[in-house]
Amino acid sequence: MEVKKIITFKQFSEYLQRDEHTSYKLARSGQITSLKIAGQWRLKKDVIYKWISEESIGRVAKNIKLSSKKYGKIK
């Protein structure tokens, strides 16, 4: 069985459990890279996984920074 490496915006939106318009906004704003194939916009799965990881790491770092400001430095 072949694993698909490229998905549609509809599939991406279902995966994120978000509206399809939100997915297109992410691409238009440059937050996630997309490509046009045969007149239709697609996303590469490896780009999606990297983006999700970076978003998660960024949020954790932000929360740690906010916590250290509120409670002092973590030793």
Question: Alpha carbon 35 to chain centroid distance?
Answer: 15
Length of the chain as a residue count? 75
Q: 35: which strand partners? A: 42
Look up residue 42 and give its DSSP letter: E
Detail the DSSP E strand segments found in 1-75: 6-8, 35-37, 40-44
Amino acid 71: pLDDT: 63
**Confidence at residue 74, expressed as pLDDT on a 0 to 100 scale:** 52
Q: Does residue 6 sit in helix, strand or coil?
A: strand
According to the model, what pLDDT value does residue 39 have? 93
Global pTM reads 0.69
Give me the amino acid identity at 70: K
User: Using the 8-state DSSP alphabet, how is residue 34 labeled?
Assistant: -
* DSSP conformation class of 4: P
Residues lower than pLDDT 70 in the chain: 1-3, 66-75
